[in-house]
Structure 1
Amino acid sequence: MPRGVLRGAYSMLQVIALTGLIAGAAQAQESEAPGITDDAVRIGISGPLTGPVAALGAISGGVRTKVDAINAAGGVKMGDGKTRKIDLVVEDDGLDPQRTLTNVRKLVEREEVFAVLATAGTPNNQAIGRYMTQRGVPNLFMYSGVHELAGPEWEIGLVPSFTTEAAAFARYLLETKPEAKIALLYLNTETGQTFQKALEDAISMSSITIVAAQPVTSADPTVETQLSTLKASGADTLVVITGPKQGAEAVRFAAESGWKPTTLVSNIAASVASLKPAGLENAKGVITSQYLKQVSAAAPGDDKGITRYIADHEAAKASFAIDDALGQVGYVTGDALVKVLESMKQPSREAMMEAARNLQGVELDLLLPGITLNTRSGEDVYPIESLQLFQFDGTVYQPIGSMLSFEGKTPTH
C-alpha cells in the first residue's frame, strides 16, 4: 500500500480514537458529578441545631428519620437503574445567614455533596443563592415560604408559599369575620414582609383592616413590648408569622393578658409541640393552616403513611417529638427527595433540577389526602398549593371548613 494511503489511514484512526476519547470523557464527566457514585449519593443540610431557633433543627432530624429508613431498606433505586444509599451530612448554622454560606461552601467544596437540601430560613437561602448558581449545585426543597430568591435556576421550595397561607387566612376572615381589625406580629425579614404584603392584597377590597403591625427578629429575647403595642391598638384579631418560640409567647400573651383576640398562627409556629410552652389551655382556639396529616402515636388509626412515619420515628430514635410538625416537615422533605432521586433520568445535578421542576401528582406519606406535589418547569414553581385550616381544641387540631386549593393560582411575590 502506498505510504500516503497508510499515513491517511493512520491519521483517520487517530481522529476516530481521539473522538472516542473525547466522547468517553464527556460521558464520564456527565455521569460523575461530585457527590454521587454507583452506590451512594451525598446530600448536605445546613440548619439551626443550636441557638434561639434551635426548634427548626427538627427539620434535619425529620430528613434523617426518612433517610435512615430508606437506607435500612437498601437505598433508592434511581432513574438510571442503580440503587444508591443516601449519605447525609448536616452542619449547624444557628440560622445565621453568614454561617449558612460558610457551611454550604464546606459542604460543596470539601464534603463534595451532590446537592443541598432543606436549607432553613429565607435570609439564609438568599445568602447562598448566588453561590449555588455559580457552582451549579441544587438547593433542593428549601424550608422557606418565599420561593423566588437569589438562585432561581438552582433552587426550589417545598412548603407552601407564605402568599398561599396569607390568602387562606384572608379567606377565612372574609367568611367568618368580615370587619376584622387585625394586629400583625411578623418576622422582619422577607418572610414576614412577603406575608404582610400578601395579606394586605388579599383583604384590599374588603372591610377588613390591619390596624397595627409589629416586626420582630429571631434574636429578640422577648416580644412582649410588641404584643403590648398590638393589644393597645384595639385589634380583635391577631395574626402571627414568626418562629415557634415567639409564636408561643404571642399565644400566651393573648390569653393571659385578657386580650383574647381571634388568633391565627402560621404553620411554622403552630404545631402542638411548639404551642406547649404557651400552655395548651392558652392555645385553645388557635387557628392555623396545614398540609400535613395530624399524627397521634396513641391512636395512629389505619393510615399507612402515618403508621410508617411512627415506625420510622421509633427506629431512628429521633430526638424531636412525634407530633412536632417541624420534624414531620423534615420527614416529608426526605420523602420528596427520594421521589426526585427515583425519577431522575441521569445521575446529574441538571437531571435532579429537571425532575424537581416537573412533579405531577406525587403522593407523600404525611401529606393530607388530596394534596400532592405538582410543578411544571417554567410555569409553576410551587410544589404544594393547597391548605386545610385547623383549630386547636386544647388537645388536638380539628379541621374547619373544606380544603382550600390555590393550584396554579398561588399569588407571586
Structure 2
Amino acid sequence: MQSLTRPKIALAMQALVVTAFAAAPALAQDTSPGIANDTVKIGISGPLTGPVAALGAIADGIRTRIDPINSAGGIKMADGKTRKIELLVEDDGLDPQRTLTNARKLVEKEEVFALVATAGTPNNQAIGRYTTQRGVPNLFMYSGVHELAGPEWEMGFVPSFTTEAAIFAKYLLDNMPQAKIALLFLNTETGQTFQSALEGAISGSNVSIVAAQPVTSADPTVETQLSTLKASGADTLVVITGPKQGAEAVRFATESGWKPTTLVSNIAASIASLKPAGLENAKGVITSQFLKQVNATAPGDDEGVQRYLADHAAAQSKFSTDDALGQSGYAIGDALVKVLESMKAPTREAVMEAARNLDHVQLDLLLPGIALTTKSGEDVYPIESLQLFQFDGTAYQPLGEAISFEGKTPKH
C-alpha cells in the first residue's frame, strides 16, 4: 500500500474540507438564528397571569392558528422548504421589566427567529431598544401605539389608537354634536395617545371632554374614578382600559343610574370581556371592530369563521370563541404565516421586508373590506379601517360600514 507524504496528507485534508463544505446544506449560509431547514422559532412574551391575564388569550390565539398548520406538516416558504413553527411563550404579567428579561432569554438563550405579539405599549417600549440593537423583529405588536423605539424592527398589528379615537369622534360629531365626554383612560402612552387624538378630532366642535380620569392596570378598582366622572355631568362615557376595568366601568355606568352613551375601546369590548359586567348592563355599548363577529352556535357560511371554529376545537383553546383577544391572536398567527410564506430568504431582514410590503393580504377573521396593507418607508399600519358596532344585549350589531383611514392614519 502506497504511503502518504506530508504534502499529500495536507492536500487530502484540504479536499475533505472542500467536500464537507460543498455537502453542507445551503441554509447554513446567509441564515439568521432561529430558522433551520424544517423549523422556525417564534418567541412570545405576554401576561399569562396577574391582573390583566385576560390578554394571555392572544398567545393562545396564535397557538390556535399554528397548531393545525404544524399538524399538517408546516408551512411552505418561498425558499421551497416546509417548516413547522415552534412557539416559545413566556409570562411577563404585563410588567415591562419582565418583558425585557423574557426578550433577552428568548433571543440569547432560545435563539428565536423573531418575537411576535408582544402585548402592551410600555412593554414594547421596554424592549424596542434591545430588539433594534440585536436586529430581531418584533412583529405584530399588540399595541395601538405604533411609533415606538425601533421602527426598522417593529411593526404593530391592531389599528392605531389614533384611528379608533377618530372613529369614536366621528360617531359623536354625527350623532351627538353637543356631547359631553367623560374619559376613563389607561395612564400609559396607550391612554395618553388616545386622549390626545380624541381631543384633536373634536377640536373646533361642540363636543367636549368635560372630565378625564387615569387608571393603571394594577388598580384593584376604578370606582373612585368613575364616581368622579359621573359627577361631572357628562352624558357620554369613553373607556380606553383593559378588559377587567372596562367591564367595571360598564357595570358602574348602568347600576349607578348614570346611564351615559358608552363607547368602549375594542381592547375591552368583546362579549367575553363584558360578561363580568352582566350582559344586561352592557346593552347599548358601542365599540369599534376590525374582526368578524363570531357566533359559534350559528357560524353561517363564512369559510374563514368556520376554519377558525374548527381550529379552535382542534387546538382545545382555553379562550371562548367570542373572545376578541383570542381572535386577535388567531389573526396575528394568520398574519405571521402569510409573512413567513412570502419572505424571500431565511433571514430576519427578509421577514421585515415582507411585513413592510403587505399588499391587501386577506385574513380569515378580518371584516369584509379590511385587509393588511403596508408600504416600506410610507405606511407602517397594517390595519387602518374600523367598523362601529353596538351591543344589543346578546350580540353586536353593525352601525354602518367600515370606515377606512388607509394611508391616512392620524399620527400621535
Name the CA distance, whole Å, in 2 between partners of 1:165 and 1:256: 27
1:14-413 equivalent positions in 2, closer than 5 A: 28-31=28-31, 33-413=32-412
Name the CA distance, whole Å, in 1 between partners of 2:29 and 2:232: 62
Name the CA distance, whole Å, in 2 between partners of 1:182 and 1:282: 20
Which AA in structure 2 matches 1:409?
K
Name the CA distance, whole Å, in 2 between partners of 1:203 and 1:334: 36
**CA-CA distance at 1:69 after TM superposition:** 1.2
SS at match of 1:30: coil
**CA-CA distance at 1:141 after TM superposition:** 0.3
**CA-CA distance at 1:311 after TM superposition:** 0.4
SS at match of 2:337: helix
Which AA in structure 2 matches 1:240?
V
Name the CA distance, whole Å, in 2 between partners of 1:268 and 1:350: 30
Name the CA distance, whole Å, in 1 between partners of 2:379 and 2:204: 27
Which AA in structure 2 matches 1:110?
K
**CA deviation profile, 1:233-278 (whole Å, cap 9, x unmatched):** 0000000000000000000000000000000000000000000000
Name the CA distance, whole Å, in 2 between partners of 1:134 and 1:227: 42
Identify unmatched segments of 5+ residues in structure 2: 1-13
SS at match of 2:193: helix
Which AA in structure 1 matches 2:377?
G
Name the CA distance, whole Å, in 1 between partners of 2:381 and 2:90: 27
Name the CA distance, whole Å, in 1 between partners of 2:157 and 2:254: 33
SS at match of 2:119: coil
Name the CA distance, whole Å, in 2 between partners of 1:152 and 1:205: 33
Identify unmatched segments of 5+ residues in structure 1: 1-13
SS at match of 1:112: coil
Name the CA distance, whole Å, in 2 between partners of 1:117 and 1:94: 16
**CA-CA distance at 1:25 after TM superposition:** 12
**CA-CA distance at 1:350 after TM superposition:** 0.1
Name the CA distance, whole Å, in 2 between partners of 1:58 and 1:118: 11
Name the CA distance, whole Å, in 2 between partners of 1:165 and 1:27: 43
CA RMSD of aligned residues (A): 1.5
**CA-CA distance at 1:205 after TM superposition:** 1.8
Q: Does structure 1 conserve the Cα–Cα contact (< 8 Å) formed by 2:290 and 2:385? A: yes
Under a length normalisation based on structure 1, what TM-score does the superposition of the two structures give?
0.93
Partner of 1:9: none
Partner of 2:4: none
Which AA in structure 2 matches 1:103?
N
**CA deviation profile, 1:262-316 (whole Å, cap 9, x unmatched):** 0000000000000000000000000000000000110000000000000000011
Name the CA distance, whole Å, in 2 between partners of 1:303 and 1:106: 40
**CA deviation profile, 1:310-342 (whole Å, cap 9, x unmatched):** 000001110001110000000000000000001
Name the CA distance, whole Å, in 1 between partners of 2:156 and 2:25: 34
SS at match of 1:52: coil
**CA-CA distance at 1:401 after TM superposition:** 1.5
Under a length normalisation based on structure 2, what TM-score does the superposition of the two structures give?
0.94
**CA deviation profile, 1:328-373 (whole Å, cap 9, x unmatched):** 0000000000000010000000000000000001000000011000
**CA-CA distance at 1:214 after TM superposition:** 0.2
Deviates more, 1:286-295 or 1:67-76: 67-76
**CA-CA distance at 1:28 after TM superposition:** 4.1
Name the CA distance, whole Å, in 2 between partners of 1:93 and 1:403: 34
Which AA in structure 2 matches 1:30?
D
**CA-CA distance at 1:26 after TM superposition:** 11
Partner of 1:3: none
**CA-CA distance at 1:151 after TM superposition:** 1.2
**CA-CA distance at 1:29 after TM superposition:** 4.2
Which AA in structure 1 matches 2:395?
V
SS at match of 2:30: helix
Which AA in structure 1 matches 2:208?
T
**CA deviation profile, 1:31-71 (whole Å, cap 9, x unmatched):** 2x111000000000000000000000000000000010111
Which AA in structure 1 matches 2:222?
V
**CA deviation profile, 1:367-407 (whole Å, cap 9, x unmatched):** 00110000000000000000000000000000012211100
Name the CA distance, whole Å, in 1 between partners of 2:271 and 2:214: 24
Name the CA distance, whole Å, in 1 between partners of 2:114 and 2:285: 37
**CA-CA distance at 1:27 after TM superposition:** 8.2
Partner of 1:6: none
